[in-house]
């Protein structure tokens, strides 16, 4: 049995085990998960509490630590864990792998076309999470399939260079190039260039937000930001309150930020901490979600408040019982799946509204009788 076959068998076995475990009656799952967890006026989702219990049994430390000497293996393990915790995604989505021009060479990308998409549709240019260090097209494939299927919108998942091999601003430069490439090849991709949104989760949400903030000449139509990191180097607040015991730890966040920004946020370049940007008023409409038990919760909600204050239309959602990375846990938590579908609905509605407004502007006025 070769390595690929062994991996597939292991993945299938773990998915079946998870299906059996999380399919148990609620009282049994509660017994296995332990007592109700309350913090900051919130109650942790039962299934995510159980997932945390299982993860703790399978690892030696809460959230783990990054070891640069074995980073390639940690990336493989992170990709595998993402595939286990998320369903495979709808299998009627058509996918095409392609490359885009990047500042340091070709960027790998994957186009997702839902069966409901018209010949010319909107597009979400998507950037995966992983703290700018982990993550891949493979890891985010189930989520991309789900978002494309539920929104009815084409989705282009763009790979970007990762730290520490390629620290800031390499990943951001690739994200900007990915967005520009999508616009340049819109017709080829079956996309209306005026209906291109950007989005991502965690670190990818940071990239999407910064791309939207920077691309003022041809801005995206919409931003979809799931539990974004917005203020590298921050301490206290939710980073302290939820810094241990809920998957992503404050220690891991600090390690990831040091790899991405080894010298900290440049004083003359705040793109690494968008919440500190001087002016956000030119941003397109934003959907921004946070999770109640996420160390990054406060800075995401602070950014939403800053956007509103600068006149940017914002839909801000806090999913109080969820943890960071919930969009990757849709196979085990109904609440996580509902929150992810909320984002897909927001994307569909936002691009439909942009398209309708544009059509109304182009429609000739009726002649007065």
Query: All domains of the chain, ordered by start, with CATH?
Result: 3-65 (no CATH), 83-359 (3.40.50.1820)
pTM comes to 0.93
> What tens digit of pLDDT does each residue of 279-297 get?
999 999 999 999 999 999 9
Beta-strand ranges (E) seen in 294-368 are 314-319
User: What secondary structure letter does DSSP report for 114?
Assistant: -
- Could you give the percent of the chain with pLDDT greater than 90? 75
Tell me what pLDDT residue 264 has: 83
Stretch 163-192: mean pLDDT:
97
Give the end-to-end CA distance of the chain in Å, rounded to a whole number: 79
Average pLDDT over residues 105-109: 97
Residues 6+ apart with CB under 8 A from 257: 131, 229, 232, 233
Query: What is the pLDDT, as a whole number, of residue 369?
Result: 42
With 0-12 / 13-18 / 19 or more C-beta atoms within 10 angstroms meaning exposed / middle / buried, residue 192 is: buried
Per residue in 77-106, pLDDT tens?
878 877 776 666 677 899 999 999 999 999
pLDDT at 39: 97
Count other C-beta atoms under 10 Å from residue 99's C-beta. Answer: 12
Q: Which pair of structure tokens corresponds to residue 128? A: 């995966």
Contacts of 149 (CB under 8 A, 6+ apart): 89, 90, 92, 93, 114, 344
pLDDT at 345 over 90: yes
**Range 321-341 burial, b when 16+ CB lie within 10 A, else e:** bbbbbbbbbbbbbebbbebbb
Active site residues: 202, 294, 324
pLDDT tens for 223-250 read: 999 999 999 989 999 999 999 999 999 9
Give me the mean pLDDT over the 296-320 stretch: 98
Residue 198 bridge partners (DSSP): 125, 223
């Amino acid at each position: 049995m070769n390595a690929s076959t062994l991996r597939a068998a292991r993945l299938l076995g773990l998915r079946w085990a998870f299906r059996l475990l999380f399919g148990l009656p609620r009282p049994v799952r509660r017994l296995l998960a332990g007592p109700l967890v309350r913090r900051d006026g919130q109650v942790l989702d039962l299934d995510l509490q159980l997932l945390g219990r299982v993860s703790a049994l399978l690892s030696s430390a809460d959230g783990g630590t990054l070891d640069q000497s074995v980073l390639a293996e940690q990336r493989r393990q992170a990709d595998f864990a993402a595939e286990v915790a998320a369903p495979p995604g709808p299998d009627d989505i058509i996918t095409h792998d392609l490359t885009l021009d990047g500042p340091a060479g070709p960027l790998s990308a994957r186009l997702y076309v839902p069966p409901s998409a018209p010949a010319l549709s909107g597009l979400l240019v998507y950037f995966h999470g992983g703290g700018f260090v982990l993550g891949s097209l493979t890891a985010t494939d189930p989520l991309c399939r789900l978002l494309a299927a539920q929104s009815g919108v084409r989705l282009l998942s763009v790979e970007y260079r990762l730290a520490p091999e390629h620290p800031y601003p390499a990943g951001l430069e690739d994200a900007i190039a990915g967005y520009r490439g999508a616009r340049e090849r819109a017709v080829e991709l079956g996309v209306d260039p005026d209906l291109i949104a950007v989005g991502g989760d965690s670190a990818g949400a940071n990239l999407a937000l910064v791309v939207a903030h920077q691309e003022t000449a041809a801005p995206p139509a919409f931003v979809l930001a799931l539990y974004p990191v917005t203020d590298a180097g921050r301490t206290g607040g939710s980073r302290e309150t939820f810094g241990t015991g809920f998957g992503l730890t404050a220690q891991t966040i600090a390690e990831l930020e040091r790899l991405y920004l080894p010298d900290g946020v440049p004083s003359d370049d705040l793109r690494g901490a968008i919440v500190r940007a001087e002016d956000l008023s030119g941003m397109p409409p934003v959907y921004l979600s946070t999770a109640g038990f996420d160390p990054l919760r406060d800075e995401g909600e602070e950014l939403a408040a800053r956007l509103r204050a600068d006149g940017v239309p914002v839909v801000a959602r806090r999913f109080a019982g969820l943890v960071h990375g919930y969009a990757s846990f849709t196979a085990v938590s109904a609440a996580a799946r509902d929150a992810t579908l909320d984002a897909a609905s927001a994307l569909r509605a936002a691009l439909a509204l942009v398209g309708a407004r544009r059509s109304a502007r182009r429609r000739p006025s009726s002649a007065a009788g």
